[in-house]
Amino acid sequence: MLRSLLRLPIKFALWFAIGSALLVLVFRWVPPPGTMLMVERKIESLSDKQPINLQRTWRPWDQLPDSLKMSVIASEDQKFSEHWGFDVDAIQAAMEHNEQGGSIRGASTISQQTAKNLFLWSGRSWARKGLEVWFTALIEVMWPKQRILEVYLNSAEWDNGVFGAEAAARHYFGIGAPYLSQQQASLLAAVLPNPRVWSASRPNAYVVRRAEWIRQQVRQLGGSDYLVQMPHARKAPWADL
């Protein structure tokens, strides 16, 4: 009896691992039709009885401007091309900062944010964090960096109900994502830490300063050359073990 009971969670974990891995593999080539964060926002609107119009239009990699790709990397994850999903130094610095009290500092990479937005719910529970680690590891192993950034730019939330670069560009500037200027791209990246409060088209002084800093960081990273040098296929870190 006890042995049978123990088999159930083992079977569930096995099927979950296989199913999630297959789903991530499919999304390497197939554009995800939506995200769990979009579902969460829709449920919130229904419970609050405040209708929300979810906006999202997929743009493939070649139609996303380099200025936006680089602005987001400069703003969110400057070691994006180097790490395997987790920036250990940033995590350690965030833990030391948070132990001192006051504001909470995050250390999520673009890969982690992609995993969370696409597959998980918001919140700070240990269960969600554990699943975030699992899905982050899967997309880092199965997707090239280009695909991770492509999915992130098409899934990030830029305002209440506004998801992805195309919807954000039209929402804030009335243009398609391919036509974003460098300044507009930096403003979009600048509001990502708090997209439901800050506005890219009506930026406050802090967002303007942050956008200027992002443009400076893009230049220091090498601009579009960074994207050319970004690895499209990498050897797994355990391959030589």
- The pLDDT, as a whole number, for residue 239 is 38
219 with 62: CB under 8 angstroms?
no
Name the CA radius of gyration of the chain, rounded: 19
Q: Is residue 121 part of a domain?
A: yes
25 is a domain residue:
no
Q: Give the range of the structural domain holding residue 68, as residue numbers without chain letter.
A: 56-229
158 assigned to some structural domain: yes
The 3-state secondary structure of the chain reads CHHHHHHHHHHHHHHHHHHHHHHHHHCCCCCCCCCHHHHHHHHHHHHHCCCCCCECCCCCHHHCCHHHHHHHHHHHCCCCCCCCCCCHHHHHHHHHHHHCCCCCCCCCCHHHHHHHHHHCCCCCCHHHHHHHHHHHHHHHHHCCHHHHHHHHHCCCEEECCEECHHHHHHHHHCCCHHHCCHHHHHHHHHCCCCCCCCCCCCCCHHHHHHHHHHHHHHHHHCCCHHHHHCCCCCCCCCCCC
Does any domain span residue 167? yes
Cα–Cα dist 228/230, whole Å: 6
In a domain, 21, yes or no: no
The closest alpha carbon to 225, from 69, 119, 77, belongs to 69
pLDDT digits 0-9 by tens, 4-13: 767 888 888 9
The confidence score (pLDDT) of residue 41 equals 94
Residue 11 domain-assigned? Answer: no
> How far out from the chain centre does Cα 196 lie?
16
Span 48-90, pLDDT tens digits: 888 899 999 999 999 999 999 999 999 999 999 998 888 888 7
Look at residue 104 and tell me if it is in a domain.
yes
CATH number at residue 61: 1.10.3810.10
pLDDT at site 125: 84
Residues in the chain, pLDDT under 50: 103-105, 233, 235-241
Note the pLDDT of residue 1.
62
Question: What is the Cα–Cα distance from 187 to 135, expressed in whole angstroms?
Answer: 29
* Domain presence at residue 163: yes
Interacting residues of 130 by C-beta distance below 8 A, sequence separation 6+: none
Please give the pLDDT value at position 104. 45
- Across the chain, mean pLDDT equals 89
Amino acid present at 55? Q
* Total domain count, the chain: 1
